[in-house]
Structure 1
Amino acid sequence: MFVSTYAGAVAGIDAVKVTVEVNLTGGGLGLYLVGLPDNAVKESEQRIRAAFENTGRKMS
């Protein structure tokens, strides 16, 4: 299943529209973050993994 939505990011003093795309397949769970090279994006991987683990799902 492919889902696309929008979010916002801060670039200096400007707000930038960001497209967020998620693709769920029948295989094992994996996480690939591409795009914005900001520390907040890199740290979000830990939050996403924690959210999955709190629902009882395991990520590869």
Structure 2
Amino acid sequence: MAVAIQSIGLKGIEGYPVTVEVEKLDGVESVVVVGLPGAAVKESKE
């Protein structure tokens, strides 16, 4: 099942739109982050 939600990101005091997409598959245990995430985001999946 795939779900997409609208959110915002912040750069200083300016906001910009972000689409977050999630898909859950039975029997699959993994996290994949695409795009250009920061080091804190990459470390958070562990």
Amino acid at match of 2:3: V
The percent of aligned pairs where both chains have the same amino acid is: 41
Say which SS state the counterpart of residue 4 (structure 2) adopts. strand
Say which SS state the counterpart of residue 27 (structure 1) adopts. coil
What do you get for the CA RMSD once the two structures are aligned?
2.0
Deviation at 1:34, TM superposition (A): 1.1
Deviation at 1:43, TM superposition (A): 4.5
Q: TM-score, normalised by structure 1?
A: 0.55
Return the structure number with greater strand share.
2
Q: TM-score, normalised by structure 2?
A: 0.66
Return the structure number with greater helix share.
1
Larger displacement relative to structure 2 (35-44 or 9-18): 35-44
Structure 1, unpaired ranges of 5+: 47-60
